[in-house]
Amino acid sequence: MKTSKHSIHIRLDRRRLLRSLLLTTGGIVTSDIYAEALTLTPRCTEGPYYPDHLPLDQDNDLIQIKGDTHPSGGTVAELGGRLLNADGKPLKNHVIELWQADVNGCYIHSRGEQRGKKRDEHFQGYGTFTTNEKGEYRFRTIKPGLYTGRTIHWHVAVKQGDKRLLTTQLCIAGVPQNDQDMVLNGIRDEAQRLSIIREFKPKSQGSKELIGTWDIVLGATPDERGMGRPPGPPPAMRDRRAPTEQEIKDALFGPSPF
């Protein structure tokens, strides 16, 4: 009788603990619950202007097209950072793709010219960079032009071989249109939303060129799952699915022997 009461008492305590964990974490609990969590870079729409014809020059300097002596218009902006997995490990040999509007708000897509605007033919519009051993990437480009209905933004995708692992966007802190932007404000998780808004400062005192850093954090991919990472935490966060009580129990206390 005593034993039975004792076991009921423990079960209730566990349930209470699980419930309070769910409340305090907003329904997100990971098996790395005691480790410092990195904010996964959220997915954003690809939008309608991923180039339908890729340029011949696809390097990471979008200001200078090979064979063109004239640089593009716009405010020069350098963007760089690291590509990391959810555990903070650098991901090398991944291709970062970047595409964006030119100074006039136009894309290199065949329907990418905004009404009444002309495309800057000296702007590359799209570039790639393969991450190095430290997961680092870098682009020399311009502050994207503004076009109707959006805030200023870069489009970014991460690929490994032919597989696209992430499609996202990056915005600039302090741009007034950020407050009304549908894509940005569609990201309900505040930490994730803030993770794609970065400050860009003058490269040096008095410089007109801007520089900003941005680390991209990838959640688990099918390949990572295959390498033994338990399914659940990163995909659950990415898919915004709250784990079931059983999954949380398994994460905290190990799988039930029954």
Task: Give residues in contact with Fe ion (CB under 5 A).
Answer: 47
C-alpha to C-alpha distances, 21 to 58, 233, 242, nearest whole angstrom: 47, 14, 12
Q: In angstroms, rounded to a whole number, what is the distance separating the alpha carbons of residues 60 and 58?
A: 7
Q: What residue number has its CB nearest to Fe ion?
A: 47
| Closer residue to Fe ion in complex, CB, 27/47 | 47
Strand-by-strand arrangement of the 197-198 sheet: 126-130, 95-100, 153-160, 163-172, 197-198
Question: In the chain, which ranges are continuous DSSP H helix?
Answer: 2-24, 182-185, 190-195, 222-226, 233-239, 245-253
| Closer residue to Fe ion in complex, CB, 38/216 | 216
- Cβ 98 to Fe ion shortest distance, Å: 12
User: Strand 210-213 to strand 76-85: parallel, antiparallel, or no bridges (unpaired)?
Assistant: parallel
- Cβ 42 to Fe ion shortest distance, Å: 16
| Closer residue to Fe ion in complex, CB, 47/51 | 47
| Closer residue to Fe ion in complex, CB, 43/203 | 43
- Cβ 19 to Fe ion shortest distance, Å: 42
